[in-house]
Amino acid sequence: MTALHRMGVAELGRALASKEVSSVEVTKHLLARVADHEHLGAWLAVDAEHALAQANAADARRAAGETGPLLGVPLAHKDIFVTRELPTTAGSKMLANYRSPFDATVVTKLAAAGTVTLGKLNCDEFAMGSSNENSAWRAVRNPWDTTRVPGGSSGGSATAVAARLVPAATGTDTGGSIRQPASFSGVTGIKPTYGVCSRYGMIAFASSLDQAGPFARSAEDCALLLGAMSGFDERDSTSAERAPQDFHAAMLTPRDGATASQPLKGLRIGLPREFFPAALAADVNDAVRTALATLEQLGASLVDVSLPRTELSIPVYYIIAPAEASSNLSRFDGVRFGHRAKQYADLLDMYKKTRAEGFGPEVKRRIMIGTYVLSHGYYDAYYLQAQKLRRMIADDFQRCFSRCDVIAGPVAPTVAWKLGDKGDDPVASYLADIFTLPASLAGLPGMSLPAGFGEGGMPVGLQLIGNYFGEGTLLHAAHAFQQATDWHVRAPAGF
């Protein structure tokens, strides 16, 4: 039998169903691996006792005749989802040792499917960052090269899956925080259409952009997880009123006219010329072009399209997201929960000192930007104009989808950079989001799948973007690609 830590979600589910292994055995094995790889910085909390209790319960459910592809499968949650049994910090000193009185909907849904929660995973503070160096606790390291970043803000989730510490993890994507770390760390990750997964219990950064999604080894694994995570939630006013979907079945449904050798026959893949600029690193371009050639061999056709406002997505995002962050983070004032300064003269002084002590530099930077663009005299000049451009960016995508079914391109302009390389230049880090921001602003589904390696042997991801609620089409294309390639099964040396 394959080593337990090398099994993905689907494979592990089959092994559990056939009684080849128990959930308790798998959980103990993975907990030992987590303890052996603390140097990666991926974990902020681990609760072995609670995890083993869940594993025992899952084994009992199977013994009673219950079935399910996720029943007894271990995973971990990004520390942006609130949990009762584990502390939730959002990677910030502001919430050190905070315990939520309830679980996030995503956590509840996955638990109902029988998953076992090993712990909480590190992230950039309040999900603000592209490298996971903004965590208040410690930076996360990329298992392919521990001197490099894993991507962010869901870097802990990407590293935990890439290092074979857990077969799957949850993440959140505001401007690319699932797709970019998935690319940098050589795993598969999908951000569904805005509203497909409930945001209830997900600590808010930018409410009109934040969306939950899974990390796993393969598109098949992601389909199983997304099926359990999705569905309407009346407690979330932005939740899409759609029933839970069987994304796994959609992934396996053959296209009209498809054959065994050409499962993507008839699929039109749009290539925005703006996604292949001269500044795109040669190693990333080569890997993405090779992946596109594979998709062609599988029957897809490539169509040239244009997203003319791609470059504008950076200023638009970095006006809208900080504006929403400045509003959302105003609740962290030391009054009801979280950190409170020990010494202060009056209420205003307590606010100032609490927030100065509790927030890190990147969070303060975005709060300041957001407060500025929402202030009197600047709202119309900045925030309102950004919202108009956001609508135009979404319209550009719809024009593309009149000519294609899926849009493809790189996830980031380069492979993962060295730890500390962009610490003194936050704008350089912002620019690395140029290919992921447009889909986030439009609320479209997008995913990253391993597509090769670049400089220093670092992973390169292929980004696929679909139309609204087109997750099934994305997963089908990704699954066909992964059936024809082995990039997604390759592991970092020593893991």
Q: Is residue 380 part of a domain?
A: no
Q: Is residue 274 part of a domain?
A: no
Tell me whether residue 207 is one of the annotated catalytic residues.
Answer: no
* pLDDT tier for residue 2 given thresholds of 50, 70 and 90: confident
CATH number, domain with residue 126: 3.90.1300.10
Query: Active site residue: 23, 100, 154, 177, which one?
Result: 177
CA–CA dist 109, 229 (Å, integer): 6
Tokens describing residue 252: 């396996």
Q: What is the pTM of this model?
A: 0.97
Q: Is residue 343 part of a domain?
A: no
Mean predicted confidence (pLDDT) in 124-138: 97
Tell me whether residue 78 is one of the annotated catalytic residues.
Answer: yes
CA–CA dist 122, 145 (Å, integer): 18
Query: Active site residue: 22, 78, 183, 440, which one?
Result: 78
CA–CA dist 414, 398 (Å, integer): 27
Q: Is residue 388 part of a domain?
A: no
Q: Which of 49-63, 142-156, 369-383, 463-477 has the lowest mean pLDDT?
A: 369-383
- Domain extent at residue 36: 4-261
Q: Is residue 423 part of a domain?
A: no
CA–CA dist 305, 183 (Å, integer): 23
Query: Active site residue: 153, 198, 230, 326, which one?
Result: 153
Q: Is residue 292 part of a domain?
A: no
The predicted-structure confidence for 217-230, as pLDDT tens digits, reads as follows: 999 999 999 999 99
The predicted-structure confidence for 153-183, as pLDDT tens digits, reads as follows: 999 999 999 999 999 999 999 999 999 999 9
Tell me whether residue 218 is one of the annotated catalytic residues.
Answer: no
> Is 385's pLDDT higher than 70?
yes
> Is 147's pLDDT higher than 90?
yes
CA–CA dist 233, 247 (Å, integer): 18
With 0-12 / 13-18 / 19 or more C-beta atoms within 10 angstroms meaning exposed / middle / buried, residue 48 is middle
Q: Is residue 346 part of a domain?
A: no
* pLDDT tier for residue 350 given thresholds of 50, 70 and 90: very high
Q: How many domains does the chain have?
A: 1
Q: Is residue 38 part of a domain?
A: yes
